[in-house]
Structures are given as structure tokens and as C-alpha cells.
Amino acid sequence: MATLVDNRYGKARVRVLRVFRESEQKHNIFDFDCRVLLKGDFSDTYLTGDNSKVVPTDTVKNTIYILAQQETFKSLEEFGIILGKHFIANYSWVSGVEAVMKENVWRRVPVTVGTTNTTKEHDHSFQRDREVHNCTVTSNRGKAPVVVSGIDDLLIMKTTQSGFEGYNKCKYTTLKETKDRVFATVVTANWTYNSLNVDYTLAFEKFKQSVYDIFALTYSKSVQETLYLMAKKAMELCPQIEQVHLSLPNKHAFGFDFARLNLENKNVVFQPVEEPSGLIEGTIKRTNAKL
């Protein structure tokens, strides 16, 4: 016969723009896509069609909007904790909630101050960055919520201070060693915390700063080394970050073969290739991690 092994359900792709008005003019925003899935005593609806315990996904969606309006939060991690608490407190047969948020990152547009050459950030006009801030909050009845934050789609490139030498060579190797290459990547990362007492927005900024600082300020011997140093730096800058997972494609930009045209290669023109790319991944845990 057929056994229901596991189940969860809820609403996905709920789009929300929440405006917090510091004043009439000065606004702070959260623009995000939200997914909330419930676990609990829901087997009857699957096994017999008895829906009496089913909180409709439509209600889940409404709840996201209602709590987004009613509650004050400084980060989507906090909103995820609020969502988990709500469903666990209000439906005794809900045992767990997973809230996944994908936040579009907006920056204030710079505007000219009077007739000067200086600019300042505008109060309520924004431009969108490409990267996405994401978080997953897993709440289980009777336990502390588990928060995982992350970043997707952060494109960075450096045009020198990157090399790759000393690697294994065999009869299949054609790659030339280099001390100077273009290094471009798309950072995808997530990290866990060792505490619930976290300023999640600051942690996100510190993570990004670690990525930028290591990338820009350190000669890269390999994508692998850079990946490790980024995670290590994030743990140094943010003591609550316990473990980091990073995925760094090596988006190659090869030199053009000018020799075929009997022309000098001045090392200033490159051919970025979309595919294939190298793909380097790693998980780095704080030494003596608490969790």
C-alpha cells in the first residue's frame, strides 16, 4: 500500500513591499518574496480528504500581509521569526513553520545637494541592486527558531591581483600558469548563527564587506583560497556567524588570441565566456563552534 512519509504545505511567491515611514518623507523599505510552509497534523487531508485542520494557503497568504502591516521589524529574519511564532501560537496542530524570504536589495538614489557638486542619499527614492538577500527561518514548537541568512547573485570582478599556479599537471592539462588574470564571480552564500541576539542587517553588511575586502585587497592564489579567506573574515567581523557556505563560479575571461593575427597581445582585451565556468564551493565552520 501507499504510505504518506512526509508533508508540508503553504503559500509560495507571496510578493510584499513593506514601507516603514520614519517620517512623512523618510522611508525604509523591504521588498521581498515570501514562502511559508506549515508542518503538523495534516495527514487526514492527504489520506481521507478531511480538510478540517487545513489552514488554507489563502489564509497563509493573508497572514503574511496582515503581519507585515501590523508588526515592526528591522530585518526579514525578524519577520520570519514573527511568522513562525504566529502559526505555532494560533494553530495547536501546527508543529513547525518554514519561512523563506528573498529580499530585493534597494539603495537610496544619490541626489545633488542644491547647486553643489556633492550628493546625498534620497529619503524615499531607491535603485535596485542585483543581489538578493535571503533568509530561512525554521520554527519548531517548543524550540528556538533557527535562522539562516544568505546572499545570491552578487557579481564582482577584479582585473588583476589574481593568479593560478602550481596546480597538478598531467597529459590532459593545457591550462597555462598565470600570475595575472581577470577574476569574476557571482557570490552565492549562506550562513548560520550561534546566537539569537543578532542584528541581522548588520551581519549581512559585514558579510558583504568581508567578501569585498578579501576580494579587492588580497592577491588571489585560487578561487578556493579566496573562498576560504572570505568566510574566515566574515567570522572575524561578525562573532555570531558560526558557519558559512560559499559557492563561487569562476567566470572566465580569456585573453584573445592576437598571435593568430600576428598582433601583439597587450593584455587589455579579454573574451568573457558565459559557459562553462569553474565552480568552487566550500563550507567553513568556526573552530570550536558552539552549535
Ligand X SMILES: O=c1[nH]c(=O)c2[nH]c(=O)[nH]c2[nH]1
Q: Has 11 been annotated as catalytic?
A: yes
| Phi, psi at 252, each rounded to 5° | -70, 145
Residues 129 and 219: their CA atoms lie apart, in Å, by 26
For position 222 contacting ligand X by CB under 6 A, the verdict is yes
| Alpha helices per DSSP H over the chain | 43-47, 57-70, 76-90, 200-217, 223-237
| Active-site residue, selected from the candidate residues 45, 57, 201, 218 | 57
Torsion angle of alpha carbons 21, 22, 28, 33, nearest 10°?
-40
Examine the residue annotation and report whether 252 is marked as an active-site residue of this protein. Answer: yes
42 marked ligand binding residue = no
Verify binding: residue 87, ligand X, rule CB under 6 A.
no
Residue 283 a catalytic site member: no
**Out of 164, 191, 204, 207, the residue judged to bind ligand X by CB under 6 A:** 164
- Is position 170 an interface residue for ligand X (rule: CB under 6 A)? no
Nearer Cβ to ligand X (164/193) = 164
CB of 75 to ligand X, least distance (A): 34
DSSP code, position 195: -
Residue among 99 and 227 whose Cβ is closer to ligand X? 227
Please enumerate in sequence order all residues whose Cβ is within 8 A of that of 4, keeping only pairs 6 or more positions apart, or say none.
43, 46, 47
Minimum CB distance to ligand X, residue 4 (Å): 44
Binding status of residue 278 toward ligand X by CB under 6 A: yes
Pick the piece of the chain touching ligand X (CB under 6 A) from 43-51, 206-214, 221-229, 256-264: 221-229
Contact set for ligand X, span 240-259 (CB under 6 A): 250
User: For residues 206 and 213, what is the distance between their CA atoms, to the nearest angstrom?
Assistant: 10
Q: Name the one range near ligand X by CB under 6 A: 125-133, 143-151, 186-194, 222-230.
A: 222-230
Kindly indicate which of the ranges 36-44, 72-80, 218-226, 260-268 contains the residues binding ligand X, using the contact rule CB under 6 A. 218-226
Residues 6+ apart with CB under 8 A from 217: none
In b/e form, how buried is each residue of 150-189, taking b as 16+ CB within 10 angstroms?
Answer: bbbebebebeeebbbeeeeeeeeeeeeeeeebbbbbbbbb
Which SS3 state, helix, strand or coil, does residue 42 take? Answer: coil
At 225, the amino acid letter reads E
| Binding of residue 175 to ligand X (CB under 6 A) | yes
- Which DSSP symbol is given to 256? P
Binding flag, residue 185, ligand X (CB under 6 A): no
Amino acid residing at 71: E
* Opening angle at CA 137, ends 134 and 143, nearest 5: 160
Asked whether 189 and 249 are in contact (CB, 8 A), the reply is no
223 binds ligand X (CB under 6 A): yes
Q: Give the total of residues touching ligand X (CB under 6 A).
A: 7
Question: 178: annotated binding-site residue?
Answer: no
Question: What is the binding site for ligand X (CB under 6 A)?
Answer: 164, 175, 222-224, 250, 278
Instruction: Provide the annotated binding site for urate.
Output: 57-58, 164, 181, 223-224, 250
Q: Which residue numbers are catalytic?
A: 11, 57, 252
Instruction: Provide the annotated binding site for 5-hydroxyisourate.
Output: 57, 164, 181, 223-224, 250
